Amino acid sequence: MKFTCLFGLLQVVVLVSAQEDLPPWGTGPTPLERLGRQTQVQATRASASASDARSAADEMEARLSAEASARSRRSAQASAAEIAQRTLTIKGAAIEAQKAQAATASWTTEAMLTLNQETAGMAAAKGMAAKHVSHEVDAELANIYMGLQDWKMKVIHDPAKEATKAGMKAALPYEKALQTIEKRVSDYETRATGLSTQARSLRTMAVGLADGAVQKQAGGALDAASKDMMQAHTMMNQATMFEAQGLKLIKQAQIWNVQIPTYVGAASGAAHAKTWQYAKKLYAPPPVSFGLPPPTNVNAFLQKGVAHHDEHA
């Protein structure tokens, strides 16, 4: 902008100098030429003045813009300073809040520790008091307590009852074997009785057929008499077989029946021995036995007895 102003002034100076240094042409310039030159000079000066005015206006506008920029920068700096101040204030408040929280946590921990200590102290005091009271009560009621314990043991764990229960448990296998033998004997006797009844019925029917055959033979019905007589003989044979089977069953039942007292004695002996083990002061010792007790696996024993009887039969 300053350069444009200087250039305009330089043009004015050059024009004036040129007007003053013109060589004379004949008699000199005419009034019209002089007026034109003056007009040109005035126009040049006006142009230079306009340039100066524009330069001044541009410079003023630049200054105003610079001042506005400076004001904006100062305002921004002030806002930034205010924000920084507020940020520091917020940070300080957060730090203070953290400190307050830490202090509260510390107070809470101390309160819990104090409470725990008080609780432990109360528990210890209660324990000491209970121990002291218990010691005093035990010292005062020792005899009564011991008597109560003895009575409790006698009631709950009566030696006689415990011995009886143990004896029953020891005799149980032999009693089960005895029940099995008795049931087998009863079944065989029932079966033998049924076979004997069938045999008597067949014999009665055979006798009737034989009598009828004799009458038919006397009447001349020989074929019918022969058939009835053959059927009567068949019935007699069946009756004899049924009778023989029944006798075998009765004999086998008698063999097993002999074992019943043995199992009864074994059950009684096992119960007596176990009872005496549990309460030796209340019961006499069992008699000495030199024989072996009977087997408790009765099924194998019964099958062996059946096979042995079939071989001798």
Which amino acid, 168?
M
Q: Are 283 and 296 in contact (CB under 8 A)?
A: no
Q: Which residue has the tokens 């077989």?
A: 241
Residue 88: how many other CB atoms lie within 10 Å:
10
Q: Name the band, by pLDDT with cuts 50, 70 and 90, for residue 89.
A: confident
Is the pLDDT at 311 greater than 50? The verdict is: no
Q: What is the pLDDT of residues 117-157, one digit of tens each?
A: 767 767 776 677 667 656 665 666 555 555 545 545 455 56
Cα(first)–Cα(last) distance of the chain, in Å? 157
If residue 104 lies in a helix (H) or strand (E), which one and from where to where?
A: helix 31-140
Q: What is the dihedral of CA 101, 105, 108, 110, to 10 degrees?
A: -130
Higher pLDDT, residue 33 or 14: 33
Is the pLDDT at 285 greater than 80? The verdict is: yes
Is the pLDDT at 250 greater than 80? The verdict is: yes
Q: What is the pLDDT of residues 19-41, one digit of tens each?
A: 444 444 445 678 877 888 888 88
Is the pLDDT at 53 greater than 50? The verdict is: yes
Residue 201: how many other CB atoms lie within 10 Å:
13
Where are the chain's structural domains? 170-312
Q: What pLDDT is attached to residue 230?
A: 92
Higher pLDDT, residue 23 or 214: 214
Q: What is the pLDDT of residues 68-84, one digit of tens each?
A: 878 877 887 887 777 77
Residue 185: how many other CB atoms lie within 10 Å:
21
Q: What's the token pair of residue 35?
A: 């007026």
